[in-house]
Amino acid sequence: MDTSEVLIGLPEGDHVLPFNWRRADEEWTCAEADVRCGPWQGRLRVEFYSDELRTFGEEIRRLYKELRGTATLHPIEPHLTLKFTGNGRGEIEVDGVAQSQFGMDTRLSFHFVIDQTFLPRIADGFCAHSVR
């Protein structure tokens, strides 16, 4: 499985696409992320500390099994925050915020829906890039 990109959504539709993953040091993982929602799109650098990605991936796996509940990525460096919410019928709402600099007023808040069948691939992608 290719985990160099973690596509959340559809390539030609609303999506978040972290790619170009790399280790900044022993505790940090960095990537670029494309965000597209409606007419808005942009690219930003994102950073994740220690096991933030693994924890999010495990929460996504639980959401896939139960179809209800949430999986939340709220990293120490909140350039990209994500919340997946299951409705119990297979639809997963994706809510997030992308901001290039913490504390700046410029940010993109977004919302779109994906199918539950996307979740295993997304979970595997985030877990593959976890530091621990």
pLDDT string in tens for the chain (132-residue length)? 445 899 999 999 999 999 999 998 889 999 999 999 999 999 999 999 989 999 999 999 999 999 999 999 999 999 999 999 999 999 999 999 999 876 667 889 999 999 999 999 999 999 998 876
**How many angstroms separate the CA atoms of 107 and 79, rounded?**
9
DSSP state of 5: B
The answer to whether the beta carbons of residues 69 and 81 sit under 8 Å apart is no
Q: Would 114 be classed as within a structural domain?
A: yes
Q: What is the pLDDT of residue 1?
A: 41
CA angle 32, 16, 38 (to 5 degrees): 125
Structural domain count of the chain = 1
Give the pTM. 0.92
List the domain range (segments joined by +) for residue 100. Answer: 8-128
Q: Would 83 be classed as within a structural domain?
A: yes
Q: Would 95 be classed as within a structural domain?
A: yes
The percent helix, strand, coil of the chain (3-state, each to 5) is: 20, 45, 30
**How many angstroms separate the CA atoms of 118 and 9, rounded?**
8
